[in-house]
């Protein structure tokens, strides 16, 4: 079997050159006479790998010196709990914007560790729009403001950081990190599970302003403390070494390809082609998200007749277009267009959609 075009929401497509390099180095890596999975994370070779991965990420994102970069575990979901534990004092308030399933889950998980104050919730729009900037008020005494920069399930993305009036902005970038340039200084914390735009699952990348590491937070074991992780180079315990290695290869590949600005241009081109096909289908396909809030990374779309869903999925898969089934909460389809997905994949999907509509319209 050959590889198909993979539209999976996550774990998701990885760059083919990265997979080939990992394949070539699998048995013997870096002169270690063993694979990268079989050597100590405290050895010279792995430490050099870890430092290079951080340096490449810093270069890609333009991360200033007053931010630490952490390579953590537990998926983004674990950090829904650890973030308030580290950044909020006992019983302290934190403001949450709820714009889809992930930010909703972050607020719900946060409740165990801070007084969650949902200042905006777009449930009324079925999460198809962003809250208008003047429609919510940030508490100047809040420990932080949390949002999901991109909602992977609902396909809603903040085009830029919101103004929090100095309260640290904590943003879940799991499905949009490195997809376009961002101004890191607008954020207190940027965090992302790796398995959408960075590498395999098992790794969480966090960019955190160093002064936030000094907050007392709540009583917690060392292993749950971001400050301790930062002090020990994210090696308090054994890190997910293979995931870290592969993330490093992805960062290297991105730099060779021209960096984040280049990927932003590619991502815009892919998303524009797909949204144009949906909007121009005369109602055969539909994306419910308001234009200003549409995600560049995750595009949910519905067929005008859900009875056609099964045929669409069967035929698209046979055509080599993989994992288009929508999330179970929304039904329909979803195409994820992460950095590693080539334009040819979207062109093939658009062709298929046109052909399917002609045959079933
Ligand atoms: C996938 C995803 C998560 C959950 O990630 P896990 O690694 O499964 O914990 C959280 N937030 C967003 C925006 C996601 O896309």
Secondary-structure class of domain 16-257 per CATH:
alpha beta
Q: Is 338 in the pocket of ligand 1 (CB under 6 A)?
A: no
Selection from 73, 154, 145, 142 nearest residue 106 by Cα: 145
Residue 76 near ligand 1, beta carbon < 6 Å: yes
Which atom of ligand 1 lies at the shortest distance from residue 153's CA? 15
Determine the straight-line distance between the first and last CA of the chain, rounded to whole angstroms.
32
Instruction: Look at ligand 1, atom 8, and give the residue with the nearest C-alpha.
Output: 75
Q: From first to last of its 361 residues, what are the pLDDT tens digits of the chain?
A: 889 999 999 999 999 999 999 999 999 999 999 999 999 999 999 999 999 999 999 999 999 999 999 999 999 999 999 999 999 999 899 999 999 999 999 999 999 999 999 999 999 999 999 999 899 999 999 999 999 999 999 999 999 999 999 999 999 999 999 999 999 999 999 999 999 999 999 999 999 999 999 999 999 999 999 999 999 999 999 999 999 999 999 999 999 999 999 999 999 999 999 999 999 999 999 999 999 999 999 999 999 999 999 999 999 999 999 999 999 999 999 999 999 999 999 999 999 999 999 999 8
- State the DSSP code for 283: T
| pLDDT at residue 361, rounded to an integer | 85
For residue 75, the CA-to-ligand 1 centroid distance in Å is: 7
Centre of ligand 1 from the C-alpha of residue 193, in Å: 6
Q: Where in the chain is the domain with CATH 3.40.640.10?
A: 16-257
Instruction: For residue 40, report the distance from its CA to the centre of ligand 1, in Å.
Output: 28
Burial class (CB in 10 A: 0-12, 13-18, 19+), 338: buried
If one residue of 8, 10, 191, 300 were mutated to test the ligand 1 pocket, choosing by the most ligand atoms within 8 A of its CB, it would be 10
Please tell me the distance from the alpha carbon of residue 37 to that of residue 63, in angstroms, as a whole number: 28
The pairing of beta strand 93-98 with beta strand 115-121? parallel
Give pLDDT, residue 1. 81
Using a 6 Å cutoff on CB, does residue 75 contact ligand 1?
yes
Q: Is the CB of 152 under 6 A from ligand 1?
A: yes
State whether the beta carbon of 103 lies less than 6 angstroms from ligand 1: no
C-beta separation of 226 from 191 below 8 A: no
Which pTM value belongs to this model?
A: 0.98
Say if ligand 1 is within 6 A of residue 102 CB.
Answer: yes
Locate CATH 3.90.1150.10 in the chain. Answer: 260-360
What CA–CA distances, in Å, run from 123 to 38, 40, 215?
A: 47, 47, 33
Number of the ligand 1 atom closest to the C-alpha atom of 77: 9
Residue among 185, 88, 209, 103 nearest 141 (CA): 88
What's the gap in Å between 285 CA and the centre of ligand 1?
A: 27
Atom of ligand 1 nearest to the CA of 175: 15
C-alpha atoms less than 13 angstroms from C-alpha of 264 in its C-beta half-sphere: 11
* Per-residue confidence (pLDDT) for residue 46, from 0 to 100: 98
In this structure, which residue's CA is closest to atom 1 in ligand 1?
A: 174
Q: 11 preceded by cis ω (within 30°)?
A: yes
175 lines ligand 1 (CB under 6 A): yes
Active site residues: 102, 172, 196
Residue closest via CA to ligand 1's atom 2 equals 174
CA of 33 to the centre of ligand 1 (A): 35
* Distance in Å, CA 43 to ligand 1 centroid: 31
Both tokens of 194, joined, read 């790796």
Q: Which residues pair with 6 in a beta bridge?
A: 322
103 contacts: CB under 8 Å, gap ≥ 6: 96, 97, 146, 147, 148, 151, 172
Q: What is the DSSP letter of 168?
A: P
Looking at ligand 1, which residue's alpha carbon is closest to its atom 12? 174
Assigned CATH topology for domain 260-360: 3.90.1150
> What span, in angstroms and rounded, lies between the C-alpha atoms of 79 and 71?
12
Each residue of 221-247: b (16+ CB within 10 Å) or e? eeebbbbebbeebbebeebbbbbbbbb
Asked if residue 205 lies in contact with residue 247, where contact means CB atoms within 8 angstroms, the answer is yes
């Amino acid at each position: 079997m050959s590889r198909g075009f993979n539209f999976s929401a996550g774990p998701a497509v990885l760059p083919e050159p990265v997979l080939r390099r990992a394949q070539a180095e699998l048995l013997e890596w870096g002169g270690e006479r063993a694979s990268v999975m079989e050597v100590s994370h405290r050895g010279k070779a792995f430490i050099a790998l870890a430092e290079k991965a951080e340096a490449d990420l810093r270069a890609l994102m333009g991360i200033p010196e007053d931010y630490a970069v952490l390579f953590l575990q537990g998926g983004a979901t674990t950090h829904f709990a650890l973030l308030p534990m580290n950044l909020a004092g006992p019983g302290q308030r934190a403001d949450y914007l709820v714009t889809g399933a992930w930010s909703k889950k972050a607020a719900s998980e946060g409740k165990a560790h801070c007084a969650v104050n949902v200042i905006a919730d777009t449930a009324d729009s079925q999460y198809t729009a962003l809250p208008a900037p003047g429609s919510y008020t940030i508490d100047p005494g809040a420990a932080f403001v949390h949002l999901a920069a991109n909602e992977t399930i609902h396909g809603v993305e903040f085009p830029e950081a919101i103004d929090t009036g100095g309260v640290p902005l904590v943003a879940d970038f799991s499905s949009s990190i490195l997809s376009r340039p961002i101004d890191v200084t607008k954020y207190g914390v940027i965090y992302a599970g790796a398995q959408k735009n960075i590498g395999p699952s098992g790794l969480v990348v966090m960019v955190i302003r160093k002064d936030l590491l000094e907050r007392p937070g709540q009583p917690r074991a060392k292993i749950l403390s971001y400050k301790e992780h930062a002090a020990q180079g994210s090696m308090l315990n054994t890190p997910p070494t293979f995931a870290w290695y592969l993330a490093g290869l992805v960062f290297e590949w991105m730099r060779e390809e021209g960096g984040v600005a280049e990927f932003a241009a590619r991502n815009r081109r892919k998303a524009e082609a797909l949204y144009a096909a949906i909007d121009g289908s005369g109602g055969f396909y539909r994306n419910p998200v308001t234009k200003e809030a549409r995600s560049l990374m995750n595009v949910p779309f519905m067929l005008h007749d859900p009875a056609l869903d099964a045929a669409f999925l069967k035929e698209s898969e046979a055509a080599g277009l993989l994992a288009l089934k929508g999330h179970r909460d929304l039904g329909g389809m979803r195409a994820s267009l992460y950095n590693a997905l080539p334009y040819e994949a979207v062109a093939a999907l658009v062709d298929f959609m046109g052909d399917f509509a002609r045959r079933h319209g």
